[in-house]
């Protein structure tokens, strides 16, 4: 294989490794979200942020390697679909597997993020409902109620409270 293809393959392998770590972290975060363990969620989020920064560097290097290969092939585009056509059968086979793995990881990561996001939204909705049920009415806007003897009535009992204990 030509050096430009090897360089691109190396950066694609790095991207696969980072995406796999991101997927692992997002998967680890789900039980913490469900358990309401905010400290663990924050700790994992910090590790995710490190991996995302690492991925930004890998992506920049991968783009440079794809541009170098495109220049070598005389192509203007650096997309895989454009580069693929200019490669030999062996080069294409070597990179196809890595690209397919990377695309699969990205899809899995998108799904895992969507699930975690939905869990967080549900938890926030339950917390909002719990807070609203605990809130007393504003005495300035509440109608005044009086007993039969003419004295002010006690405020009504609070409504049922729904607390999110299990997300």
Q: Count of alpha carbons within 13 Å of 79, Cβ hemisphere only? A: 3
Number of structural domains (the chain) is 1
Looking at the domain assignment, is residue 74 inside a domain? yes
Total Cβ atoms within 10 A of residue 14: 17
Cα 57 to the chain's mean position, in Å? 19
Looking at the domain assignment, is residue 153 inside a domain? no
Average pLDDT, the chain: 85
Model pTM score: 0.72
Burial class (CB in 10 A: 0-12, 13-18, 19+), 47: middle
Q: How confident is the model at residue 7 (pLDDT cuts 50, 70, 90)?
A: very high
Looking at the domain assignment, is residue 154 inside a domain? no
Mean pLDDT of 47-61: 96
DSSP sequence for 116-141? HHHHHHHHHHHHHHHHHHHPPPPTTT
- Domain limits at 59? 3-134
Mean pLDDT of 6-32: 96
Looking at the domain assignment, is residue 78 inside a domain? yes
DSSP sequence for 6-33? HHHHHHHHHHHHHHHHHHHHHHHHHHHH
134 has pLDDT over 90: no
């Amino acid at each position: 294989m030509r050096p430009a293809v090897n360089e691109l393959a190396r950066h694609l392998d790095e991207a696969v490794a980072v995406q796999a770590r991101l997927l692992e972290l997002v998967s680890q975060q789900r039980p913490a979200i469900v358990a309401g363990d905010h400290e663990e969620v924050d700790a994992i989020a910090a590790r995710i942020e490190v991996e995302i920064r690492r991925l930004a560097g890998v992506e920049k290097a991968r783009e440079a390697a794809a541009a170098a290969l495109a220049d070598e092939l005389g192509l203007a585009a650096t997309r895989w679909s454009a580069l693929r056509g200019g490669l030999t059968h062996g080069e294409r086979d070597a990179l196809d597997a890595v690209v397919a793995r990377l695309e699969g990881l990205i899809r899995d990561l998108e799904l895992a993020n969507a699930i975690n996001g939905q869990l967080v939204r549900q938890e926030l909705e339950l917390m909002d409902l719990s807070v609203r049920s605990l809130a007393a009415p504003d005495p300035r806007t509440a109608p005044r109620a009086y007993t039969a003897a003419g004295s002010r009535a006690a405020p009504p009992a609070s409504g049922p409270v729904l607390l999110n204990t299990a997300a």
